[in-house]
Amino acid sequence: MNKAILPIAGLGTRFLPLSKAVPKELLPLADKPLVQYAIEEAKNSGVKEIIFVVRQDNKKALEYLKPSLKLEKELKEKKKEDILSELKILEESLEGISFSYVLQKKPLGDGHAILQAAKYAKDEPVACMFSDDVFDAEEPVIQQLSNVFKTCQKPVIALYPVSESKISCYGIAGVEKIANKIYKIKRIIEKPSLQEAPSNLSICGRYILTPEIFSYLKKAKPTAKGEIILAEVISNQMIKEGKLIYGCEISGNWLECGDKPKWMKSNIYFSLFHPKYGAEIRQFVKDLKIK
């Protein structure tokens, strides 16, 4: 998979007032911002270009990715070699991958955001990633989906099993199993009741999309809120017209960051298992003697 679309044009309303100062995609998860986890996943899956969908008044994420020669010079002068090495690690993590940027003038849904990237995606399959869905997986999730795509050459959606108590919080896929953890998706129901749910497999923020998605998004009718929603377009248009859509139940842990409690829980997770600071954090938590 050569390209990935990464929409970061949302307003981050669930993180207000914090998101007035810090865009959601730059919120820290342990010692890295959310967007960096997505970039690293994409790179480790073989992606060569990431297409960011941004809004006009929020380009701070783009600044984060650029080298700061002035800052590096100051760190060298002050002999802050340890901090300078952290900047170098970031720069090295971005090597071999290029970035493109397109504007979404108004927040009109994730499908509308993806549509803005059509001219950069061109006539080839493209991964789609949402930075508030983060995964701790031995094999990157986009790579897992790409493995399925190589065989089927059809859109592939990442699926994750959720507990019965959480089914009503997600888009749930109705599926037909065709192999171990591989499914044909028959429909997607947004936030169903337990009785309505066709399975316990949730859509979890990772897709491989084929070029035809853009024609469907372009002709899609907005919802009552004026939004174009990717999952609804796939379910209500593509699947109903007989298009094959596959699902892959991913391996790994899904750490959500879509609202404050989920983000805080994910912060605890990544802090506890941090390769450098994890032992210190675990000892700190142990010493708290929480009852």
Question: How far apart, in whole angstroms, are the C-alpha atoms of residue 86 and residue 201?
Answer: 38
Number of domains in the chain: 1
Pair 135, 145: CB distance under 8 Å: no
pLDDT value at residue 171: 93
CA 233 to chain centre: 19
Task: Give the domain extent around 148.
Answer: 3-288
Pair 177, 191: CB distance under 8 Å: no
pLDDT value at residue 290: 81
Count of CB atoms situated within 10 Å of the CB of 108: 19
CATH number, domain containing residue 79: 3.90.550.10
Mean pLDDT of residues grouped by 10 in the chain (291 residues)? 91 88 91 93 95 80 78 80 83 87 89 93 93 96 97 96 94 94 95 93 96 94 91 94 96 95 96 94 90 75
Contacts of 258 (CB under 8 A, 6+ apart): 14, 132, 133
Query: Which of helix, strand or coil describes residue 258?
Result: coil
**C-alpha triplet 124, 122, 52: angle, nearest 5°:** 100
Structure tokens at 198: 């066709």
Q: Which residues pair with 175 in a beta bridge?
A: 185
Q: With the CA atoms of 131, 136, 140 and 145 taken in that order, what torsion angle do they form, in degrees rounded to the nearest 10?
A: -80
Question: How far apart, in whole angstroms, are the C-alpha atoms of residue 217 and residue 206?
Answer: 17
Question: How far apart, in whole angstroms, are the C-alpha atoms of residue 105 and residue 94?
Answer: 27
pLDDT value at residue 57: 67
Residue 158, classified by CB atoms within 10 Å of its CB into exposed (0-12), middle (13-18) or buried (19+), is: buried
Q: Which residues pair with 127 in a beta bridge?
A: 4, 208
Pair 127, 42: CB distance under 8 Å: yes
Quickly list H helices, 153-290. Answer: 213-219, 230-233, 260-272, 278-288
CA 146 to chain centre: 15
Count of CB atoms situated within 10 Å of the CB of 198: 15
Question: How far apart, in whole angstroms, are the C-alpha atoms of residue 200 and residue 181?
Answer: 13
Report how far apart the first and last C-alpha atoms of the chain are (Å, whole number): 47
**Residue for token digits 């849904």?**
109
Pair 269, 136: CB distance under 8 Å: yes
